[in-house]
Amino acid sequence: MRVDSKPDFYDILGVDRNASQEEITKAYRRLARQHHPDVNPGDDQAEQRFKEISQAYQTLKDPEKRAKYDQFGEAWEQAREGGQWQNGDFGQFVYTNFGAGSFRDIFGDLFGDMGPGGVQFTTGRSRRRPEPGPTRGHDVEYELPISFDEAVHGGEKEISLTLADRCPECEGMGGETQSCPACGGTGQAQSGGGFFNLGAPCPQCHGTGQVVTSRCATCRGSGEATRRRHIRVKIPPGVETGSKVRVAGEGGRGVAGGPAGDLILTMQVQPHRLFRRRGDDIHLDLPVTFVEAALGDKVTVPTIDGNVTMTIPPGTQTGDQLRLKGKGVRHLGEGGRGDQYVHVEITVPEKLTGQQRKLLEQFDETWDEDPRKSMRR
C-alpha cells in the first residue's frame, strides 16, 4: 500500500496513471512554459511550481524510475544516490538534476526561438538574446503578384524591394565597440550560483561580448538600415496563389560572418479574362451559335498554349461540358498536366433580317417539339 506525503507526480502533470510517454512529455512542456521562472521573474510560487513539475517529469519520463514510483511512491527516492532537491539554490537544483551546461538544452527545448508569451524574435538586437559567434540572418517574406500566364508557364521576374537590415557599417552593433567589461568578451553572464547565471547571456552586452563606445553615424545608433535590392526570381510552372518560392541568401544579413537568411516569396496570381483555374484544370466558357449547337461544327477554342480546333457534337445544349485532355496546367514539380474543360453557352441573335426571320418561321412550322412539356402540371 502506498502512502505519499507529497503531491502525486501524475497529479502535478495533470495526466492519468496510464498516460503514455508522449502524453507525459507534452504535459510537461505545456506546464513548464507556463511556470518557467524566466517567464515569471520574481515569482517564488512559479519557481516552486516549476521545481515540482521538473521533479515529476524527471521521474515519470524514465521507465525504470516510473515503475519504482508506481510501486513505492516517494519512498523509491530513499534508495537513490545523491541528495534531495527540495531545499537550496535553484541553480544547484538545475545543476544536480540536469547536469552542468545543460540548462541551454532545457530552455531551448521549452522555448526554442520563442520568447515569453510565444513571441518569436526575428530582428531587433534589443528584444532578443543573441549568441556570440556567427549567426544566420532572418528570413524575409514577400508577397509577389504575378500574371496568370506567369503562374501556368513559369518564367523569370525582376522584383525590387526595400529590406530593413542590420547596418552594414557597424554590423548591427550601433557603433564602435569594445570588449564587454562585465563578461570579458565571452558574452556569458559571470557565474554567481544563481539560476539565471547558468549559461545565460551577459545582461550588459546581451550575449554579444561587445559594448558600444561611440554611436554609428550611418544608423545613428539604431543598428538598423534599409537596403534596396533588385532580384531576378525564377517562377516554376504550375504555381498558384499561396505557393511559396524560396530564394536562398536574399534575406536578412548574417551576424559576425554568419550566412544570410532567405527570401520567401508567396505567389499572388492575378485573374485571367478568359480562363479560370481549379487545381491544375482550366475552365473556359465558350459561346456557340444555335446553328453550331444544333447541327454540330468544328470551332476554334483558346487554351493556355494557344488556339486549337474542337468539335461541337450535334445537339449540344447550353451547360454541356467538353474536355480537352492534357490542355491544363503542368503539375508543379511533377510530370503530366491537367485538362481544359469547355462550358458551352448557346447564343441567340438579337437582330434578324427579313429573310432570316422568314426562314426561322418556316422551320418553326415544321418543329413540333415542346421544350416545356416536362413543366406541365
Strands 340-347 and 321-324: antiparallel
311 or 39, which is more confident: 311
Domains 121-171+223-270 and 276-366 share a fold: yes
Dig out the grid coordinates for 274 from the structure: 478568359
Confidence of residue 226 (pLDDT cuts 50, 70, 90): confident
Q: Residue 235: which residues within 8 A CB-CB, separation 6 or more?
A: 146, 150, 151, 154, 155, 156, 157, 245, 267
Indicate the domain borders of the chain: 9-118, 121-171+223-270, 175-215, 276-366
Q: What is the mean pLDDT of residues 323-346?
A: 93
**pLDDT over 70 (residue 126):** no
- Look at residue 185 in the predicted model and tell me its pLDDT: 77
| Residue corresponding to grid cell 426562314 | 359
Confidence of residue 114 (pLDDT cuts 50, 70, 90): very low
Report the 10 Å Cβ neighbour count for 156: 9
d(CA 202, CA 129): 9
- Look at residue 5 in the predicted model and tell me its pLDDT: 52
Dig out the grid coordinates for 251 from the structure: 534575406
- Look at residue 77 in the predicted model and tell me its pLDDT: 60
Contact predicate 50/37, CB 8 Å:
yes
- Look at residue 1 in the predicted model and tell me its pLDDT: 39
DSSP for 225-254 reads EEEEEEEEEEEPTT--TT-EEEETT-SSPP
198 or 77, which is more confident: 77
314 or 76, which is more confident: 314
Dig out the grid coordinates for 184 from the structure: 570579458
- The number of residues making up the chain comes to 377
**pLDDT over 80 (residue 197):** no
- Report percent pLDDT > 90 for the chain: 34
Dig out the grid coordinates for 268 from the structure: 499572388
Strands of 182-305, DSSP E: 210-215, 224-235, 244-247, 263-269, 276-278, 281-289, 297-303
Q: Facing residues of 344 across strands?
A: 286
- Look at residue 74 in the predicted model and tell me its pLDDT: 66
- Look at residue 211 in the predicted model and tell me its pLDDT: 80
Task: Summarize pLDDT for 271-291 with one digit per residue, the tens.
Answer: 999 999 999 999 999 999 999
Query: What is the average pLDDT score of the chain?
Result: 78
- pTM (two decimals): 0.53
Report the 10 Å Cβ neighbour count for 187: 20
CATH of 276-366, picked from 3.40.50.2300, 3.40.640.10, 3.40.50.720, 2.60.260.20, is 2.60.260.20
Confidence of residue 127 (pLDDT cuts 50, 70, 90): very low
Dig out the grid coordinates for 171 from the structure: 554590423
**What region, left, alpha or beta, does residue 172 occupy, with left being phi > 0 and alpha being psi -120 to 50 degrees?**
left
Superfamily of domain 121-171+223-270: Urease metallochaperone UreE, N-terminal domain (2.60.260.20)
Least Cα distance to 344 among 312, 306, 303, 371 occurs for 312
**What region, left, alpha or beta, does residue 154 occupy, with left being phi > 0 and alpha being psi -120 to 50 degrees?**
left
**pLDDT over 70 (residue 131):** no
Superfamily of domain 9-118: DnaJ domain (1.10.287.110)
Sign of the four-CA dihedral 121, 123, 128, 133: positive
Degrees to nearest 5, angle at CA 26 with 25 and 27: 90
Contact predicate 298/343, CB 8 Å:
no
d(CA 212, CA 207): 13
- Report percent pLDDT > 70 for the chain: 76
d(CA 264, CA 246): 5
**pLDDT over 60 (residue 58):** yes
**pLDDT over 60 (residue 244):** yes
Sign of the four-CA dihedral 76, 79, 81, 85: positive
d(CA 10, CA 57): 9
- Look at residue 333 in the predicted model and tell me its pLDDT: 79
365 or 172, which is more confident: 365
d(CA 343, CA 359): 29
- Look at residue 86 in the predicted model and tell me its pLDDT: 40
**pLDDT over 90 (residue 258):** no
**Helix (H) / strand (E) containing 46:** helix 44-60
Q: What is the mean pLDDT of residues 18-42?
A: 81
- Look at residue 119 in the predicted model and tell me its pLDDT: 32
Q: What is the mean pLDDT of residues 239-260?
A: 83
- Look at residue 57 in the predicted model and tell me its pLDDT: 86
| Residue corresponding to grid cell 501556368 | 152
